[in-house]
Chain A
Amino acid sequence: MDANKKTETNLEVEILVAHQNNDGLKLAELYAEAAYNSSNSDKACFFMVNAYTIALENRHPDTLSFFQFLKKYDRES
């Protein structure tokens, strides 16, 4: 089994669990992790949008860095 693929699957499971638990802080971190692990910028920005949105709602300490990530790719202003 591809080690990278396994990580992605585990991350998906963790994201689903965090959604079910309504754990916003954890969810933002997991989406950000998915973004940083992504192989291309479009995929990364998709996950980072989710991370940033949930971070905004939950006042996550990394909200600003998520914003800057998206801004760098002209996806947020």
Chain B
Amino acid sequence: MEKRAILNRVCLPVEDANGLPNEHYTCPSVFKEEKDILLFNKWSGLAVAAEIPSVGNAVPINFQGTPLFIVRTKENRVRVFQNTCRHRGMILIEQAKSIKGAIRCPYHSWCYSTDGHLISTPHVGGPGRNLHGSIDRSNLGLTEIRSHVWMGVIWINLSDTAPNFEDSMKDLIDRWADFDRPLFHGGSESSFTIEVAANWKLAVENYCESYHLPWVHPGLNTYSRLEDHYHIEHKNIFSGQGTKVYKQLEDKEGNSFPDFPNLNDKWDTAAEYIAVYPNVLLGVHRDHTFAIILIPDGPEKTYEHVHLFYSCKNTSKQLRRENMKLWKNVFEEDVPVVQGMQKGRHAVKFDGGRFSPVMDSPTHCFHYWVASEIQNGRKQKD
């Protein structure tokens, strides 16, 4: 069957559809195609703003082969730039640092302000001359990458073609308006990375559905049963699951994390877990949120960078540790099945699989998005 027909089948209603074919999980050329169409053309998660907590903090990040850096400007804004000098393309920032004044290129010392303006071009007109008629500094600022901070995550649109973040994500921002407030990263007790030998999409797919919970997370099953969950689906933007029986973590004295203020009553017992396409997995609860940024490293390896956030600065360190341990355990329980699905994608006769029409629709929602975006991307290329 030709590629278009196969992807058309993915886009059928869930009861008739097949999943994405193997090449979307194993093939380097499809991986590259998806990188452009799904990651670069959309709003992708890059990092968390907590990685640059103070003015002048700058961190280089290689995003799918593109050298970038994130910086907190003198005006306390998070901005993202291509990590290259406008002169000879030299990498500007090799390692995380605190910029005191200007960003100075280590090669010929062209200097940029933290908001990207080219402010000095030493000896550009000859020794002792910083000026030359053909060097217009106003056109030679750092190349900025569109970015937006929401739920503690720095989102970027590398292609510069996506609608504004607030427009792209409006329905999710509205859905979670209660959590659109300052979030406090829990520091070293609240971040960890899991390396998974699997395509990044399998991590998304596994996150979307609650079908696997009784088998893969038996610990959760004691209080959060399958029937306590509901699907969340928003075609082309996000999908996931919610639970109606979230139970707060408590220490031995019965203390829990403080709630976010002014929450709707729904959140007394509800929690929601949503995969925001393409690569960010978010979770919200009355007393904490988390973000998982999936960073693909080729078609068959993914880094899951996990960050937990709280309603205020001064939460109990011990409780944060316990919460991180709890979530780390849950996410690590997913690793064998995600990796197992990856191995299964090398079975030459696997046809993408069939979905449970009742339980798998959030996952199918993601497959539909991938297939339709790839089809559109290929059409535009033809």
Contacts and interface: CB of A to CB of B under 8 A. Distances in A.
A48 B123 CA distance: 11
Interface string B102-142: 11100001010000000110110101111100000000000
A12 interface: no
B101 A56 contact: yes
B127 A42 contact: yes
A48 B120 contact: no
A15 interface: no
A76 to B, nearest CB: 5
Contacts of A77: 130-131
Contacts of B103: 57
Residue of A49, A60, A63 with most partner-chain B CB within 10 A: A49
Interface in A35-77: 42-50, 52-60, 63, 70, 74-77
A53 B104 contact: yes
A43 B102 CA distance: 25
Contacts of B109: 53
A53 B119 CA distance: 10
B100 interface: yes
Given A59-B100, A59-B101, A53 B111 contact: yes
22 contacts: A45-B127, A46-B123, A49-B128, A49-B130, A52-B122, A53-B104, A53-B111, A53-B122, A56-B104, A56-B111, A57-B100, A57-B103, A57-B111, A58-B100, A70-B130, A74-B131, A75-B128, A75-B129, A75-B131, A76-B120, A76-B130, A76-B131
Interface of B: 100-104, 109, 111, 119-120, 122-123, 125, 127-131
Interface of A: 42-50, 52-60, 63, 70, 74-77
